[in-house]
Amino acid sequence: MAFGQAPLSAPVAPAAPVAPAAPPLGDSDELFRAWQGSVREAVGRRTPWSVRRPAGAGARRGLGWQAAKIGVPAAVIVTVGAGALMMLTGRANDMLAERASTGTLSSGQPSAVSSGQPSGKTAAKGAAGAGTAGLTLAGYRGEHGTVRVAALWSAGGTTMAVGYADAHPAVWRHASDGTWSLVSTAALGGLTGHLTSVADGPSGWLAVGSMNENGTVEPVVFWSPDGLTWTPQPALTNFAGSSAQFLGVAAGPGGYLVVGKDGSDSQAGAALWWSADLKNWADGEIGGSAGSYAAAAVAVGTGFVAAGSENNCHTIWTSPDGRNWTAHDLAKPSGATTATLTSIAVNQSGRFVAAGYATNGTSDIPVVVTSADGGADVTQVVLGAPQGQAKVTAVTATSDGFAAVGVAGPAGAQHAVEWTSPDGVTWSAAIQVPAAGASGITALTDTGTMVTGTAQRGATPSVLTIPAG
């Protein structure tokens, strides 16, 4: 099986802390707040890395190699670059039928195929290409709540989008030479919740997020052999416990990594969970301090890199095997008081780029950090910001290097922008992305000569395409 490349968003797209009293997670909280609203509805500069330290000092949890046995396996999309991440979670239920997607993709590139589509499903056809008009991804038939895509992942000719629709977790699938279709009706349509991340790995697709059952919010994990049928995967949720919050997932030759935070309310801290086979899970034991979190991750060779925030500073954690971790503390840009990383991508040579933003009390500062040697040497770049302020919301690897997207401009006059780089170190000026309007692009995935991303317009997401580079 070919593994897709992940950027991340994770928020990738806005993902959510699930504890009601948890401190804010920047962009991550926006999805959770939007999902809560949907439930109610339904019902430049470079600075050096300063310190590397072993992760786990003062850890709150004992290290895993504790085993948890598997039970039952279980916006506007804008094309601008390559590689992606996506999201999901849910529970089997056949209550809801699919509501048809509307609109067509702009012409210019062969459409993706949604093979194995269940009979009776309505799918939206279209071809990916350069243009401004896009496919609208709709939710469940008979419901009219908010629909939002939180993340994307591409692998083996298949692109997946995940998020929520009508307060239910939702998964859309697009395979080469086919159509977009909502494939989550049976498994997720009866569940209240949202999806935050998804990845394709050696044992199939894994998706994570949260669900709300009888007023209690808990983490969930779903597994799929093909992206079409999804079943609960309780091994990790049983191992991590109900206080865990799953914000991102990555997969590669070294197995699977789920990232997020763990703990109660304001005491929750960054947490990582690794598995080689989806049956046995280990706690990464990074000892995240209160208020810290890991928002996204990517596989680099047989190891992993996670990105997030700790002690109000953007942070990455690196591991050669998913079990032993090193935290890297980064100096904030001049004048910044806080910083976070929300998305990460890796290219085929193993160079990763993590992206996010810093704040100085009055505006956002777009930043990326990159390394070609697993984090031993890291370069930080402050990107050019029109009108002096911007934030990066997603990043992906492309055939020409990397593409990052975000929002720029003062409150009330923001617009979507893109930055491109041939090497992760040298970046272009910000270029406006008219197709996305004022919405921030929250996730990206490689579709060959294009990159597909997500941005929200009103209550629905759409599919748009623009050339990368």
Write down the pLDDT at residue 142. 86
For position 439, which CATH number holds? 2.120.10
Give the alpha-carbon dihedral of 3, 4, 10, 13, to 10 degrees. Answer: -140
Tell whether 6 is covered by a domain: no
Q: Does residue 3 sit within a domain?
A: no
Q: Average pLDDT of 341-370?
A: 96
Percent of the chain predicted with pLDDT > 90:
50
Q: How far apart are CA 115 and CA 177, in angstroms?
A: 9
DSSP calls for 303-352: EEEEEEEETTEEEEEEESSSSS-EEEEEPPPTT-SEEEEEEEEE-TTS-E
The closest of 300, 296, 286 to 254, measured between CA atoms, is 300
**How far is C-alpha 329 from the geometric centre of its chain's CA atoms?**
22
Asked whether residue 8 is assigned to any structural domain, the reply reads no
In a domain, 12, yes or no: no
What total number of domains does the chain contain? 1
pLDDT at 92 over 80: no
pTM greater than the 0.85 cutoff: no
Give the whole-angstrom CA distance, residue 37 versus residue 133.
27
Per-residue pLDDT tens digits for 61-84: 333 333 332 232 223 334 333 333
Q: Counting runs of H as helices and runs of E as strands, what totals does the chain give?
A: 3, 31
Q: Which long-range contacts (CB under 8 A, 24 or more apart) does 425-428 make?
A: 425/370, 425/379, 425/381, 427/44, 427/368, 427/381, 427/383, 427/384
Contacts of 359 (CB under 8 A, 6+ apart): 336, 337, 338, 339, 365
Report the sign of the C-alpha dihedral through residues 229, 231, 233, 237, in that order.
positive
Spatial separation of the C-alpha atoms in residues 294 and 258, rounded to whole Å: 9
For the chain, report the end-to-end CA distance as a whole number of angstroms.
28
Lowest mean per-residue pLDDT among 204-208, 236-240, 261-265, 446-450: 446-450
Which helix (H) or strand (E) element contains residue 363? none
Task: Give the C-alpha separation, 219 to 194, whole Å.
Answer: 10
Read off the pLDDT of residues 412-422 as tens digits, 9 standing for 90 and up: 888 889 999 99
DSSP state of 207: E
**pLDDT tens column, 222-278:** 999 999 999 999 999 999 999 999 999 999 999 999 999 999 888 999 999 999 999
Report DSSP state, residue 400. Answer: T
| Domain housing 397 | 27-465
Q: Which two three-digit tokens encode residue 278?
A: 């989806």
- Give the separation between CA 443 and CA 306, rounded to whole angstroms: 16
**Stretch 144-162: mean pLDDT:** 89
d(CA 201, CA 299): 10
Q: What is the pLDDT of residues 291-304, one digit of tens each?
A: 999 999 999 999 99
For the segment 31-44, the average pLDDT, to the nearest whole number, is 50
- State the Cα angle at 169 between 356 and 221, rounded to 5°: 80
Residue among 183, 165, 174 nearest 121 (CA) = 183
- Residue 323's pLDDT is 93
Domain presence at residue 10: no
Distance between CA atoms of residues 85 and 106, nearest Å? 23
Give the pLDDT of residue 47: 38
How large a percentage of the chain has pLDDT more than 70? 70
Residue 138 lies in a domain: yes
Q: Which residue carries 């991550």 as its tokens?
A: 28
Q: Is residue 20 part of a domain?
A: no
CA–CA distance, 343 with 362 (Å, rounded to integer): 23
> In 3-state terms, what secondary structure has residue 32?
helix
DSSP state of 436: G
Q: Regarding predicted confidence, which is higher, 264 or 351? A: 351
Could you tell me if residue 242 is inside a domain? Answer: yes
Indicate whether 37 pLDDT > 90.
no
Helix or strand (DSSP H, E) at 72: none
Look at residue 201 and give its three-state secondary structure.
strand
Q: How confident is the model at residue 451 (pLDDT cuts 50, 70, 90)?
A: confident
Instruction: State the Cα–Cα distance between residues 367 and 389, nearest whole angstrom.
Output: 11
Q: What was the pLDDT predicted at 54? A: 54
Convert the pLDDT of each residue in 107-131 to its tens digit.
Answer: 222 222 222 222 222 233 333 323 3
